[in-house]
């Protein structure tokens, strides 16, 4: 704030804009009132830091041996008197003129901007107001009826002075008695803020907002803060138990985190970070942190408890602390969101997290599998909501495959063992690993020794059109009708072991399929690749968005079964028997029921059947017919 005129030797009027801001602080803002203590502690910490710098070159100061500390006391008062708090520091102190200057100045242009936005109907919480408009000290008027600041400068000849204000449009500065260096803030609490005149409450606030301020903070006789922040220590100096204890204290989660990332750097921005990947996706019932976002500190002072602007949405399962001395202490949420520095911080933290996750995947496959099972879906969502992230997240993907023996493999693993002539990364979409492993589409790949990835998460179908390629290798769905497979050392001679079905019989069976299935299929034809499966459904070349049919079914949207090509295996024993039946008894009920069941089976294998339970009456009917024929 600035002063407009001096009405007496020690009385000052605030400018009109400042009066309005103070009025809002005093009368309108009730949320997060506890941050007044954070702001006063932050100011006290700054005063002591300035004292430290002063003593580097000047030892001729008042009380050179005084402990640099903050003391918060709740004096006893009569029952009918207002409650009080006293906050003292041994910092650099202020003269009378400095009190007028330092406690009589708010960014006037900021005040005008704030009032203009209020006039337009904008709303602000206390954090925004304090951060945007530099009124940290004046947050005390959210809880105070009156504030008396008594200060004595570090300069030996300077006299003590006091600044007094009741939140109205004036303040006074007068002579005072104080023997030691530093500043005392005497707060007379408003009746509705009497809860703060409680040592337990004050310790709780210190623990939450100022636990790692570098100077000791005493509430009553006991120190209330840890003082040395774990994230500002060198990782080589910290034992694993210290990380575990800090994580438990911060989150109240008792399962150890899957990954701890601790680093510090000064380039391109100053940052100290201690981050954790939780053991589980969902927080425990006793977890203290219920919202996403890391704790954002500046100069060891908490400025946002849940900062969601540093990391992308798909990394917001990460918890921990980020501390940067490049951020101003009075940063607001709006400033954070629009701060170029925050973008640099976020880029640095994101890069380090992804690097350490990749390293965990290389060094500890078992732990990484647990991580992927818990959080893999976030990285799949990243491709859909943040296309620029694709290059970063694809190396983290893990899948089971036709050659992985139940283990998860990376795309790098797959590419490294591709056949020499193979140019694509093959995948099969299915609902379960078991269904994928038994997919009829795998027949030609098994015969040639080609590996196929099992994509069994519903998100796999959603993002498959977005993936395109990895390291120059295109992704290819194995359900394509006329896929050209590479020539490999493996052959398909095994298919010759079965006797091919007589062509007239096979043609009659195909005709029966066309008649039975009608418009539900685009074509029925003999397969050139099936070996162990009787039929399969493949997509026509001109099929559009075929993966989306699975998503629509899973989301219970208006779903129509897509029309596909039905391929039949001309060497399979079941098809051979049905082909004979089509020749000998073309009107047999068993023939029609069997064709319907084969089609339904193929839909289930493709993950396209709207309700597999509907097959049960048909299966029972087939069993009844088969049993009746068996006893004849």
CATH number for the domain spanning 402: value is 3.40.50.11260
pLDDT, tens only, 622-632: 898 888 877 76
Answer yes or no: are the C-beta atoms of 478 and 525 closer than 8 Å: no
Per-residue confidence (pLDDT) for residue 288, from 0 to 100: 80
Listed residues 306, 341, 363: the one ending a domain: 363
CATH code for the domain of 601: 1.20.120.790
Asked whether residue 342 falls in the same domain as residue 248, the answer is yes
Residue 377 lies in a domain: no
Asked whether residue 215 falls in the same domain as residue 241, the answer is no
pLDDT higher than threshold 50 for residue 109: no
pLDDT higher than threshold 80 for residue 619: yes
Sign of the CA dihedral with 579 first, then 581, 585, and 586 last:
negative
Q: Span 312-330, mean pLDDT?
A: 88
Asked whether residue 235 falls in the same domain as residue 193, the answer is no
Residue 389 lies in a domain: no
User: What 3-state DSSP class applies to 233?
Assistant: coil
Asked whether residue 33 falls in the same domain as residue 94, the answer is yes
CA–CA distance, 498 with 421 (Å, rounded to integer) = 29
Question: How many C-beta neighbours within 10 Å does residue 495 have?
Answer: 19
Residue 334 token pair: 């709006």
- pLDDT confidence tier of residue 8, bands split at 50, 70 and 90: very low
pLDDT higher than threshold 80 for residue 329: no
Tell me the average pLDDT of the chain.
86
Per-residue confidence (pLDDT) for residue 170, from 0 to 100: 86
Per-residue confidence (pLDDT) for residue 359, from 0 to 100: 97
Asked whether residue 120 falls in the same domain as residue 239, the answer is no
Closest CA to 67 of 291, 217, 262, 232: 217
Closest CA to 481 of 549, 544, 440, 539: 539
- pLDDT confidence tier of residue 131, bands split at 50, 70 and 90: very low
CA–CA distance, 257 with 367 (Å, rounded to integer) = 11
CA–CA distance, 436 with 397 (Å, rounded to integer) = 18
Q: Which is higher by pLDDT, 562 or 61?
A: 61
The lowest-confidence range among 44-48, 177-181, 394-398 is 44-48
Per-residue confidence (pLDDT) for residue 121, from 0 to 100: 62
Answer yes or no: are the C-beta atoms of 571 and 493 closer than 8 Å: no
Closest CA to 176 of 160, 152, 155: 160
Residue 508 lies in a domain: yes
Strands 469-470, 473-477: pairing kind:
antiparallel
Answer yes or no: are the C-beta atoms of 234 and 326 closer than 8 Å: no
Answer yes or no: are the C-beta atoms of 126 and 29 closer than 8 Å: yes
Q: Span 584-597, mean pLDDT?
A: 93
Q: Which is higher by pLDDT, 326 or 29?
A: 326
Q: Which is higher by pLDDT, 483 or 99?
A: 99
Per-residue confidence (pLDDT) for residue 406, from 0 to 100: 93
Q: Which is higher by pLDDT, 342 or 516?
A: 516
Listed residues 474, 489, 504: the one ending a domain: 489
Per-residue confidence (pLDDT) for residue 159, from 0 to 100: 95
In terms of residues, how long is the chain?
632
β-pair partners for 454: 400, 428
Residue 451's contacts (CB-CB under 8 Å, 6 or more residues apart) are 401, 402, 403, 414, 417, 418, 426, 445
Closest CA to 312 of 289, 343, 286: 343
Closest CA to 346 of 305, 296, 301, 299: 296
Per-residue confidence (pLDDT) for residue 494, from 0 to 100: 43
β-pair partners for 302: 297
Answer yes or no: are the C-beta atoms of 3 and 100 closer than 8 Å: yes
Residue 524 lies in a domain: yes
CA–CA distance, 392 with 352 (Å, rounded to integer) = 12
pLDDT higher than threshold 70 for residue 488: no
Domain that holds residue 44: 3-223
Residue 80 token pair: 């009918």
Residue 501 is given by DSSP the state: P
Asked whether residue 150 falls in the same domain as residue 126, the answer is yes
CA–CA distance, 129 with 429 (Å, rounded to integer) = 52
Write phi, then psi, for 184 (nearest 5 degrees).
-120, 135
Q: Which is higher by pLDDT, 360 or 550?
A: 360
Q: What percent of the chain clears pLDDT 70, i.e. is strictly above it? A: 85
Q: Which is higher by pLDDT, 52 or 191?
A: 191
Per-residue confidence (pLDDT) for residue 116, from 0 to 100: 64
Residue 381 lies in a domain: no
β-pair partners for 295: 321
Per-residue confidence (pLDDT) for residue 3, from 0 to 100: 42
- pLDDT confidence tier of residue 558, bands split at 50, 70 and 90: low
pLDDT higher than threshold 70 for residue 545: no
Q: Span 422-440, mean pLDDT?
A: 92
Per-residue confidence (pLDDT) for residue 453, from 0 to 100: 97
- pLDDT confidence tier of residue 13, bands split at 50, 70 and 90: confident
Asked whether residue 204 falls in the same domain as residue 302, the answer is no
Asked whether residue 135 falls in the same domain as residue 215, the answer is yes
Residue 370 lies in a domain: no
Sign of the CA dihedral with 542 first, then 544, 550, and 553 last:
negative
Q: Which is higher by pLDDT, 518 or 545?
A: 518
Predicted TM-score (pTM) of the model is 0.74
CA–CA distance, 113 with 133 (Å, rounded to integer) = 9
Which of 28-32, 226-230, 549-553 reaches the highest mean pLDDT?
226-230
Residue 160 is given by DSSP the state: P
Asked whether residue 19 falls in the same domain as residue 34, the answer is yes
Per-residue confidence (pLDDT) for residue 336, from 0 to 100: 59
Answer yes or no: are the C-beta atoms of 288 and 263 closer than 8 Å: no
Q: Span 267-291, mean pLDDT?
A: 88
Per-residue confidence (pLDDT) for residue 53, from 0 to 100: 83
pLDDT higher than threshold 50 for residue 557: yes
Residue 33's contacts (CB-CB under 8 Å, 6 or more residues apart) are 126, 142, 143, 193
- pLDDT confidence tier of residue 437, bands split at 50, 70 and 90: very high
Q: Span 544-571, mean pLDDT?
A: 75
CA–CA distance, 23 with 200 (Å, rounded to integer) = 30
Domain count, the chain: 4
Burial of 118 (0-12, 13-18, 19+ CB in 10 A): middle
Sign of the CA dihedral with 613 first, then 614, 617, and 618 last:
negative
pLDDT higher than threshold 70 for residue 236: yes
Residue 388 lies in a domain: no
Per-residue confidence (pLDDT) for residue 411, from 0 to 100: 97
pLDDT higher than threshold 70 for residue 524: yes
Q: Span 167-184, mean pLDDT?
A: 92
The lowest-confidence range among 120-124, 251-255, 436-440, 462-466 is 120-124
CATH code for the domain of 58: 3.30.565.10
Q: Span 512-528, mean pLDDT?
A: 94
CA–CA distance, 610 with 391 (Å, rounded to integer) = 35
Write phi, then psi, for 106 (nearest 5 degrees).
-125, 150
| Residue whose token pair is 């009368």 | 27
Asked whether residue 13 falls in the same domain as residue 51, the answer is yes
Listed residues 489, 511, 546: the one ending a domain: 489
Per-residue confidence (pLDDT) for residue 560, from 0 to 100: 80
CA–CA distance, 595 with 575 (Å, rounded to integer) = 10
User: What 3-state DSSP class applies to 135?
Assistant: coil
Asked whether residue 212 falls in the same domain as residue 236, the answer is no
Per-residue confidence (pLDDT) for residue 331, from 0 to 100: 58
Q: At what angle do helices 615-630 and 589-606 cross, to 10 degrees?
A: 140
Q: At what angle do helices 126-133 and 35-57 cross, to 10 degrees?
A: 30
Asked whether residue 582 falls in the same domain as residue 478, the answer is no
Residue 552 lies in a domain: yes
Residue 69 token pair: 């500390």
- pLDDT confidence tier of residue 104, bands split at 50, 70 and 90: confident
């Amino acid at each position: 704030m600035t002063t407009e005129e001096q009405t007496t030797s020690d009385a000052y009027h605030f400018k009109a804009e400042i009066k309005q801001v103070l009025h809002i602080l005093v009368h309108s803002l009730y949320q997060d009132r506890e941050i007044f203590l954070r702001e006063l502690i932050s100011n006290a910490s700054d005063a002591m830091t300035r004292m430290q710098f002063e003593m580097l070159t000047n030892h001729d100061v008042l009380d050179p041996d005084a402990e640099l500390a903050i003391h918060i006391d709740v004096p006893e008062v009569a029952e009918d008197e207002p409650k009080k708090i006293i906050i003292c520091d041994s910092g650099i102190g202020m003269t009378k003129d400095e009190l007028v200057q330092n406690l009589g100045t708010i960014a006037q242009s900021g005040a005008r901007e704030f009032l203009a936005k209020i006039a337009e109907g904008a709303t602000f919480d206390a954090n925004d107001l304090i951060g945007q408009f530099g009124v940290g000290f004046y947050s005390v008027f959210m809880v105070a009826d009156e504030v008396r600041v008594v200060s004595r400068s570090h300069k030996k000849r300077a006299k003590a002075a006091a600044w007094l204000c009741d939140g109205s449009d004036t303040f006074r500065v007068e002579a005072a008695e104080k023997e030691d260096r530093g500043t005392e803030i005497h707060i007379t609490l408003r009746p509705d803020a009497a809860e703060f005149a409680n040592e337990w409450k004050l310790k709780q606030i210190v623990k939450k907002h100022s636990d790692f301020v570098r100077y000791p903070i005493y509430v009553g006789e006991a120190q209330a803060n840890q003082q040395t922040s774990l994230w500002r220590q060198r990782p080589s100096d910290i034992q694993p138990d210290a990380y575990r204890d800090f994580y438990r204290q911060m989150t109240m989660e008792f399962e150890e985190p899957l990954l701890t990332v601790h680093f510090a750097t000064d380039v391109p921005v100053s940052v100290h970070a201690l981050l954790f990947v939780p053991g589980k996706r969902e927080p425990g019932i006793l977890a203290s942190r219920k919202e996403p976002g890391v704790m954002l500190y500046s100069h060891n002072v908490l400025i946002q408890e849940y900062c969601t602007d540093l990391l992308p949405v798909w990394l917001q399962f990460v918890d921990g602390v980020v501390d940067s001395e490049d951020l101003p202490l009075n940063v607001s949420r709006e400033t954070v969101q629009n701060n170029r520095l925050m973008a640099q911080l976020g880029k640095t933290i994101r890069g380090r997290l992804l690097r350490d996750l990749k390293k965990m995947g290389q060094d500890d496959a078992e732990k990484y599998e647990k991580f992927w099972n818990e959080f893999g879906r976030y990285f799949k969502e990243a491709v859909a909501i943040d296309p620029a992230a694709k290059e970063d997240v694809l190396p983290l993907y893990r899948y089971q495959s036709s050659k992985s023996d139940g283990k998860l493999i990376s795309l790098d693993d797959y590419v490294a063992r591709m056949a020499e002539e193979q140019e694509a990364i093959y995948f099969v979409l299915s609902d379960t690993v078991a269904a994928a492993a038994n997919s009829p589409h795998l027949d030609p790949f098994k015969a040639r020794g080609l590996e196929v990835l099992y994509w069994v998460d519903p998100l796999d179908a959603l993002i498959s059109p977005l993936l395109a390629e990895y390291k120059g290798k295109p992704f290819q769905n194995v359900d394509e009708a006329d896929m050209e497979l590479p020539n490999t050392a493996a052959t398909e001679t095994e298919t010759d072991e079965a006797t091919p079905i007589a062509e007239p019989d096979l043609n009659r069976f195909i005709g029966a399929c066309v008649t039975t299935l009608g418009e539900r299929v685009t074509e029925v034809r003999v397969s050139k690749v099936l070996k162990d499966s009787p039929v399969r459904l493949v997509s026509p070349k001109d099929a559009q968005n075929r993966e989306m049919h699975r998503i629509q079914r899973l989301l219970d949207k208006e779903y129509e079964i897509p029309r596909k090509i039905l391929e039949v295996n001309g060497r399979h024993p079941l098809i051979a028997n049905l082909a004979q039946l089509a020749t000998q008894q073309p009107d047999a009920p068993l023939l029609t029921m069997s064709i319907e069941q084969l089609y339904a089976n193929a839909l289930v294998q493709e993950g396209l059947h709207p309700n597999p339970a509907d097959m049960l009456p048909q299966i029972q009917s087939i069993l009844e017919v088969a049993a009746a024929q068996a006893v004849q």
